[in-house]
A and B are shown apart, each in its own frame.
Chain A
Amino acid sequence: MEKLLKATNVSKSFGPYKALNNISIEVPKGSIFGILGPNGAGKTTFLRIINQITMPDSGEVFLDGKPLAPDDIRHIGYLPEERGLYKTMKVGEQVLYLAQLKGLSKQEAKIRLKYWFDRLEIGDWWDKKIQELSKGMAQKIQFVVTVLHQPKLLIFDEPFSGFDPINANLIKDEILNLRDEGATVIFSTHRMESVEEMCDHIALIHKSNKILDGKLIDIKRAYRSNTYEVGLLTENKEAVNSLIRERFDVSPASFKSINDELQYKIKIPEKASPNELVSFLTSKGQLNHFVEVIPSASDIFIETVKNN
């Protein structure tokens, strides 16, 4: 798959403190790439390097195969975690100014602004000052500023913080929509459920090092534990219970059910087939529930961070 962004061996120190240590990632075109990591891991520093706000001590970043150049800012839209707008400036003027800084002409910017303001239903804010708007409203405008110049690379640092659930959903849909139109998205977040929903690639940064990287689905396969959640309805509960506990690696489970049944999480050996488990279980009772336990992004996050 074609790569839009490539970073090779990027390192950055602030005095004695090493913020990034030999980070390399490849972001495929048209993907949504999640950069995850605990607080202070170096995510924001890395995003700043991609935006040429901070220069790396060593290593290189390529956009579309070419080393990053100052003019590339017009191809990148960045929504930083620490974000804001000029409080005393009017919405319209402000967005026009920021769009012009990204290299749009005033006329072009006006046309696109109208499209976005209509789309997000914020057209009547044009003459309002930012300080008259609520935080969520200002965030919407910030989003428009980020995407207005139709960048091929969109970078969001914690895009959903400060949004209520409705607006967070709205922004999520807009991001997915932009991806479908051809943009590539990098975003960093702590919200694991949005990682599950949106990302197809992730990289995990911990203590300045990249400790995990790849397609989300591949990572999940790698982290699968061959564990199945099981619900078994049987007449002879106690006998079956001891029988199962003897034969398998069992841990308690609890899921919602309308039956009064035995619930387990059963881990089978790596090479074994789940079919054997199923045939054993069906011989002991009625199998109501059988599902593979897929590690969530959150589980993977916590586990890898702990192990490092």
Chain B
Amino acid sequence: MNHLPLIIKREYINKVRNKSFIIMTFLSPLIMVGIFSLVAYLSQLNNDQVRIVSVLDESGLFLKDFENTSTISYNILDKLSLSEAKQISEESENYGLLYIPNSENLETLAEGVTFYSEDSPSLQIMNEVENVVERKVNSLKLKDAGINSEVIRELHIRVNAHQETFKGQETSKMGSYLKLGFGGVAGYLLFMFIIIYGNMIMRSVIEEKTSRIIEVIISSVKPMKLLLGKIIGTSLAGITQFLAWVILLGVFSIVITGIFGIDPSTVQTPQQEVINQAVDGGTQEIARNVIMEINNLPIVNLTIMFLFFFIGGYLLYASLYAAIGAAVDSETDTQQFMLPIIMPLILAIYVGFFTVIDNPHGTVSQVFSYIPFTSPVVMLMRIPFGVPIWQQIISLIILFATFIGTVWFAAKIYRVGILMYGKKPSYRELIKWLKY
């Protein structure tokens, strides 16, 4: 008798029809797009405002150097004492007052520069103002030393090293960021998937225990089949939800952009800024680089390994979640067992985002890409940087061997646990169950 399709179908339909599942499917992308748009809108609002900064320059050296920018409008004060200038700035509700003292010596002048304001000023404004003063003081000093600042500018040569592997493949900084992006997305996706749907499996096991239907079911079905059906059914529901999220995210972004005229992509994340600075070239060159780098990525390798590591990693953790569900009576009892599951996952993400970025082929990265509980995430992040196939295969073999071990372990716990009611078991008792 083949029960597996029946169980998978029930698990799937039951999950997908669940009200909170449906609500989450539609609400999550809406909330995400909403928050992004809000942030975009707010940062636009924030930057639109032009601040008025008064300047009291007693040295008279800087009069021509303060040019209005998109964020700051300068108001040059003349022939006033410092206290008068302060009073005027405060009364006219200026953002701040920049005071430059008069001094023979440029160093003491620079040290005497003071910015007065209502509260502590924003870093951006301070940077801008300091830059203006600094540039002027520097060029003045150069002049004192008898060097023309034009000469300096001409002497300056930008170096943008071409990167090439020993095998003659062209690479670029852009490429590194792209690789990081691909690996990061893959690793993070797996992490999220495990947490969300592993929990869902656990809850569904607990539900069968608390509703006491479990004994009725396993008088018809082998526990192993029920476990397998549950994991597959829930995973299919998870994939459905993920696909729905991707599609809905696209639709909602288009709709919101259309209605409000806000482009969520204008929100600059710190990483994007870094990329922009690193590339620092014309947009055409960026486009050329991106296409070249995408072509250079080991796409086939990446896709195949993504599937294998994703499935292996997910199943590994899913079976553990199911075992926890079987061991306890209610969700509140799961806490003590969750830690050993969550820890390696978080470790994997940290190793991925710090160590792999730093050195994709360093010892730490390598070791963690072999340990089965972290390898799916870490290896997925390393692969775009080029990992020899044999290493990937060894890591996969370890992963799947461990998976067989955890399924055996989970099935043992599951078989005994689903019939145990009452008190919460300790780790020692769980080990005893393995011998039943």
Contact = CB atoms under 8 A, between A and B. Distances in A.
Contact of A82 (B10, B14, B212, B432): B212
Given A51-B219, A53-B218, A82-B421, A101 B213 contact: no
A101 B419 contact: no
Query: Interface range on chain B: under 10, 10 to 19, 20 to 34, or 35 or more?
Result: 20 to 34
A101 B18 contact: no
Contact of A83 (B3, B18, B213): B213
Interface string A196-228: 000000000000000000000000000000000
A70 B3 CA distance: 12
A85 B211 contact: yes
User: Which residue among A51, A76, A98, A101 has the maximum number of chain B CB atoms within 10 Å of its CB?
Assistant: A101
A73 interface: yes
A88 B203 CA distance: 14
B109 interface: no
Contacts, number: 66
B125 interface: no
Contacts of B421: 82
Interface in B404-419: 419
B220 A101 contact: yes
Given A14-B436, A71-B1, A83 B6 contact: no
Contacts of A51: 219
Contact of B220 (A14, A48, A73, A83): A73
A286 to B, nearest CB: 59
B156 interface: no
Given A97-B6, A100-B6, A80 B219 contact: yes
A70 B18 contact: no
A73 B221 CA distance: 9
Interface in B213-227: 213, 215-222
Nearest to A51: B219
A87 B211 contact: yes
Given A70-B222, A86-B211, A101-B6, A80 B216 contact: yes
Contacts of B18: 88
A101 B211 contact: no
A74 B221 CA distance: 11
A103 B1 contact: yes
A207 B379 CA distance: 56
A15 B10 CA distance: 35
Contacts of B222: 70
B435 interface: yes
Nearest to A77: B219
A145 B208 CA distance: 17
Contacts of A103: 1
B14 A84 contact: no
A80 B218 CA distance: 11
Contacts of A88: 14, 18
Given A70-B222, A73-B220, A102-B220, A84 B3 contact: no
A46 interface: no
A122 to B, nearest CB: 18
A78 interface: yes
A67 B127 CA distance: 86
A82 to B, nearest CB: 5
A142 B1 CA distance: 23
Contacts of B218: 53
B220 A53 contact: no
A189 B405 CA distance: 41
Nearest to B3: A101
Contacts of A142: 216
A91 B198 CA distance: 28
A73 B219 contact: yes
A145 B216 CA distance: 9
User: Which residue among B208, B211, B213, B436 has the maximum number of chain A CB atoms within 10 Å of its CB?
Assistant: B213
Contact of A84 (B7, B10, B212): B212
Nearest to B9: A97
A89 interface: yes
Q: Which 5 A-B residue pairings sit nearest by Cβ, starting from the closest?
A: A84-B212, A80-B215, A101-B220, A84-B211, A78-B219
Given A48-B419, A102-B220, 12 more contacts: A15-B435, A51-B219, A73-B219, A78-B216, A82-B215, A84-B211, A84-B213, A87-B207, A89-B14, A97-B6, A97-B10, A145-B216
23 contacts: A15-B435, A15-B436, A53-B218, A53-B219, A73-B219, A74-B1, A78-B216, A79-B216, A82-B421, A83-B213, A84-B211, A84-B213, A84-B216, A85-B216, A86-B208, A87-B211, A97-B6, A98-B220, A100-B6, A101-B6, A101-B7, A101-B217, A145-B216
